[in-house]
Structure 1
Amino acid sequence: MSDGELVIEKGMRFDALLEQKCRDRAFGKKDRTRFLIMACVARQILDEPAKSPSIEAILDETGLSRGTFYNNFADMEAAMETVLSTFFQALWTNRPRTAPSRAGSADYDPVYEANLWYCESYETNAGLFAAFTRVAAYMPTLLRMRETMNANWVDRVISSTAKKRGRNFSEAERLTFQGELRLMVAMSIEALRERFIHCDELLSKSFPNAQAMAAGLTKIWNETIRRHL
């Protein structure tokens, strides 16, 4: 099964995407069965992120046998890890790219575009982000994957900033900038968790939707970036 086949469209729940794939005849029967199980796991996580998914519920919904489940996943923990890692890989790898005409417009802000995509994905699939927070402590591969994604994002911001200012960062400057950006990543993750998972009252009033949340985060991100131009 190729994770690269998965493209998360704006406003799409991940279980709906997996359901599409389980009906796609371009995939073999084994892959379609695997997608079907993953869709059920994702739906349970999205609907009840505080609870662990149930194998019995999957079997009831799909009509599959217990043996079929175990032919695809060693246990529910392995199924959850696959669903979450596939979701985050699809989220990162297949983030929509802005058309060149849009990128050249006066009001285009790549930081806002990236934040908007992430905020909209968080708003639609909050349960998966919540489950990630809950299970990552005992699934180190998920933590390493997120660390790699965060590091790649930080490197992209630093590279873009260096290009704008017309010179590279010294080793000391780069280390300081990296640290500030990683702090920004951590603060953004916590803010999104409070807004879309815990539904913090003040954040919900101040930022009523993903667009407002993305604008608020971008303002703080750009203030940090400007100090290094």
Structure 2
Amino acid sequence: MENINSDNSIEKIEFLITRLVDFSNENEFDHTLYLSFANEKAKTFNRYFAEIDNETHKAKIISDLKTNFHFEVDNIVNEMLSTKDNTQYPSDGTTYYISRPILDTRIKSYKNNYKELIQLFLNSVEFETKSKVKDKTKEAWFLTGIQLANGKAYELRDQGFSFRDIALKLGFKASDNSYFSTSFGTSKDSKNIFNSLDRLKEIIEHCNLHDIKICSKFSSECASKYQNELIFN
């Protein structure tokens, strides 16, 4: 269930951004004043941002802050410039518009002020999202490699077990048997762990680090494909 406080925090952040817009429109640029305001709002932002549980919502807020600010200022400036005369001339019924006014000093100043404030604000906020990095030690290819490296998979195969039975006996799903069947042969399939030097390095490094004895069949298979490129303890 989505945290109610999280929803409130998103609304508060939206209001906070509106205040940045208003402030830059109401105040002439003064570095000390703008820096103080930006820091104050950044602290508030950080507090509300930390209360949001949904990582997707947090990622969207970060994206909006980093990419949409310039659209915001352009929209406001365009609104300032959108004066028009909708007088209907009875002769032909055409609506004539007064040409857009030239960007005056006040609008130029506002645009510059807003950009200055946003930059000060972005320099102060802290974006913290949880890392979505996969734990490789729980992936089928890695676990298969460990069972090959420690020799258990070879022992079961020598006893005549099918690859499906090997997978089940070693705690895998039946559908993971293809990792074993391809790794025992010369398949070019990506599930054959011997087709990836990088994966083999990770498996061997794990074994070395955790004092897992590597069987001779595994080390021989590695050596036949990658001579002098893998280090065994």
What TM-score comes out, normalization by structure 1 length?
A: 0.25
Structure with the bigger percentage of helix: 1
* Relative contact order, higher structure (CA 8 A, sep 6+): 1
